[in-house]
């Protein structure tokens, strides 16, 4: 589907992060992008240059040289937005950037709204809606897996899956609509049991996608983990071992230095976020009596709980009581970790195992840490996910649309089995198609688009 943007405006914004950097990029998009740049750029006449070329020159404000720049030229429709696009690479000073933007405004550009470049890319058919959303996810990605999933979605992998589902439903709908055309004659073209099977198949595919969301969320936001246990169990020692070994790395805004994220580690591409570690990290020898209430609150926020205990002083009965006291809900994974194994030589874990999955470590001797990490990974992956070829839903909006599709299909099935007339079936199918079409943007409303793109930053 090809939309043309209602607004013929030419928009401008800083495309790189603000702040001092070697280079900053000011981007213009719209019918006048090249003409406006020509008025402030001294070098070649950009109008006469071919698309996808670079041009060195100066930006001048009434004859005063503001900066030496390189201009990249993309002529419609061969650009991100499918409009004329110019990217001015200047030196990364806030002052220069402000002045260049001011000059383009003077010559007829207007400031871009949040996400407006990507919105135009969508409206002009460059990307579908799910792909456009993946652009934001890709920019925000900070681990191998979050990058992998966003990249796959941006390149259309996820959209293809949704389009296949939609094509099957449209086939279904067309059979029903055919019946409606002949409704006077009371005929049934579509074999009801074949229809049922088709819906079952589609629902199975949707169930897999819905199920992937839990993991998708983990990929995108990391796994909230909490370490709990009695004072002196070794919680802070363990936390320090984990954090010192494998801190998650994130690059800072300007992309020049790399910082560690506090209290987060990355194991095989999945981020684990340790909750409320302040008390644990302050000191290793102070006995911390964290109130019961506070512990329970921490546990509530976590989706993975490490219950750490001193194997020399904790009986399996005690472990049982302690874990029961945590009152974990069914969505919270639990790993019991027997610490200080160095003080008891070898110990049997069988009795503990009967209560919860248990592994033995020595935090201070750094023994069993690798096993602990593998166990954490397994708890998260729940042994069913191979990310390489599975489509993973990471976006709440997509998840909700898929749920709506599923519910509508349930109604279709109920309708078929109770023998309702084809016009009611058709209405339920249209509802399913509507929800599905919103994911990739075959069906959109202004509100929906505003909602999605306003979450982008200006310049994207």
Positions touching ligand GDP (CB under 6 A) are 229, 231-237, 280, 284-285, 288, 339-340, 342-343, 362-365
Q: Which is nearer to ligand GDP, 131 or 339 (CB)?
A: 339
Q: How far is the CB of 279 from ligand GDP (least distance, A)?
A: 9
What residues contact 110, with CB distance under 8 A and at least 6 apart?
Answer: 9, 10, 11, 12
Ligand-binding annotation for 233, yes or no, is: yes
342 vs 442, beta carbon nearer ligand GDP: 342
Q: Please give the sequence-ordered ranges of beta strands (E in DSSP) within 169-269, or none if there are none.
A: 223-228, 247-251, 258-267
In the complex, minimum distance from the CB of residue 357 to ligand GDP, in angstroms, rounded to a whole number: 19
Q: Shortest gap between Cβ of 234 and ligand GDP (angstroms)?
A: 3
Question: What DSSP line would sit under 90-124, residue for residue?
Answer: EEE-HHHHHHHHHHHHHTT-EEPPBTHHHHHHHHT
Which residues are CB-contacts of 153 (< 8 A; sequence separation ≥ 6)?
A: 130, 131, 133, 134, 137, 159, 394
Cβ 286 to ligand GDP shortest distance, Å: 7
Is 256 annotated to bind ligand?
Answer: yes
Query: Which has the closest alpha carbon to 372: 381, 356, 360, 354?
Result: 360
Residue 362 is given by DSSP the state: B
Q: 40 vs 280, which CB is nearer to ligand GDP? A: 280
- Assign 77 to helix, strand or coil: coil
User: What whole-number distance in Å separates Cα of residue 323 and Cα of residue 107?
Assistant: 68
Binding residue per annotation — 278? yes
Phi, psi of 224 (to 5 degrees): -75, 120
Nearest to 239 by CA among 382, 377, 372, 378: 372
Output the smallest distance, CB 373 to ligand GDP, in A. Answer: 16
Is 251 annotated for ligand binding? yes
357 known ligand binder = no
Distance CA 460, CA 449 (A): 15
Nearer to ligand GDP, 27 or 340 (CB): 340
**Which residues, at least 6 apart from 434, have a Cβ–Cβ distance to it below 8 Å?**
443
| Complex with ligand GDP: residue 302 or 435, whichever CB lies closer | 302
Nearest-approach distance from CB 280 to ligand GDP, in angstroms: 6
Q: Is the C-alpha dihedral spanning 259, 18, 149, 273 positive or negative?
A: positive
Residue 277 is assigned to a ligand binding site? yes
Does 279 appear as a known binding residue?
yes
Of the two residues 223 and 233, which places its CB atom closer to ligand GDP in the complex? 233
Q: How far is the CB of 333 from ligand GDP (least distance, A)?
A: 21
The annotation status of 236 as a binding-site residue, yes or no, is yes
Q: In 3-state terms, what secondary structure has residue 25?
A: strand
Residue 237 assigned to a binding site: yes
Of 86 and 337, CB closest to ligand GDP? 337
Query: Shortest CA distance to 409 belongs to which of 428, 381, 389, 387?
Result: 428
Annotated binding-site residues for GTP read 232-237, 251-257, 276-279
Specify binding-site residues for K(+).
232, 251, 253, 256
Annotated binding site: 232-237, 251-257, 276-279
Binding residues for Mg(2+): 236, 257
């Amino acid at each position: 589907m090809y939309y043309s943007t209602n607004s013929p405006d030419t928009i401008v914004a800083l495309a790189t992060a603000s702040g001092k950097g070697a280079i900053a990029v000011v981007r213009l998009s719209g019918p006048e992008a090249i003409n406006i740049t020509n008025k402030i750029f001294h070098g070649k006449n950009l109008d006469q240059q071919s698309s996808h070329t670079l041009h060195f020159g100066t930006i001048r404000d009434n004859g005063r040289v503001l900066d030496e720049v390189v201009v990249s030229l993309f002529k419609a429709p061969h650009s991100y937005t499918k409009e004329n696009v110019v990217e001015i690479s200047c030196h990364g000073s806030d002052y220069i950037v402000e002045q260049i933007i001011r000059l383009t405004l003077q010559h007829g550009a207007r400031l871009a709204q949040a996400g407006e470049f990507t919105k135009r890319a969508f409206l002009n058919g460059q990307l579908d809606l799910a792909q456009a959303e993946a652009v934001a996810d890709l920019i925000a990605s900070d681990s191998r897996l979050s990058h992998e999933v966003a990249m796959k979605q941006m390149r259309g992998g996820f959209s293809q899956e949704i389009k296949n589902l939609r094509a099957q439903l449209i086939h279904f709908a067309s059979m029903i609509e055919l019946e409606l055309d002949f409704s006077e004659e009371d005929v049934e073209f579509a074999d009801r049991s074949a229809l049922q099977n088709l819906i079952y198949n589609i629902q199975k595919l949707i169930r897999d996608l819905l199920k992937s969301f839990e993991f998708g969320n983990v990929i995108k936001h990391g796994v909230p983990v909490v370490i709990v246990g009695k004072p002196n169990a070794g919680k802070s020692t363990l936390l320090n071992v984990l954090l010192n070994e494998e801190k998650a790395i994130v690059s800072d805004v300007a992309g020049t230095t790399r910082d560690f994220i506090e209290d987060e580690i990355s194991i095989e591409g999945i981020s684990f976020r340790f909750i409320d570690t302040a008390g644990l990290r302050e000191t290793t020898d102070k006995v911390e009596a964290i109130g019961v209430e506070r512990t329970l609150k921490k546990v509530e926020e976590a989706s993975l709980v490490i219950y750490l205990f001193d194997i020399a002083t904790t009986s399996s009965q005690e472990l049982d009581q302690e874990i029961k006291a945590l009152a974990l809900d069914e969505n919270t994974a639990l790993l019991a970790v027997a610490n200080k194994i160095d003080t008891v030589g070898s110990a049997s874990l069988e009795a503990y195992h009967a209560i919860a999955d248990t592994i033995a470590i020595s935090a201070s001797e750094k023994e069993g840490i690798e096993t602990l990490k593998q166990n954490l990974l397994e708890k998260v992956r729940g042994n069913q996910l191979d990310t390489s070829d599975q489509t993973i839903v990471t976006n709440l909006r997509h998840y909700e649309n898929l749920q709506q599709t599923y519910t509508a299909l349930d109604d279709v099935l109920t309708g078929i089995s109770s023998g309702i007339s084809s016009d009611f079936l058709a209405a339920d199918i249209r509802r399913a198609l509507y929800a599905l079409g919103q994911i990739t943007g075959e069906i959109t409303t202004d509100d929906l688009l505003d909602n999605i793109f306003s979450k982008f930053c200006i310049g994207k």
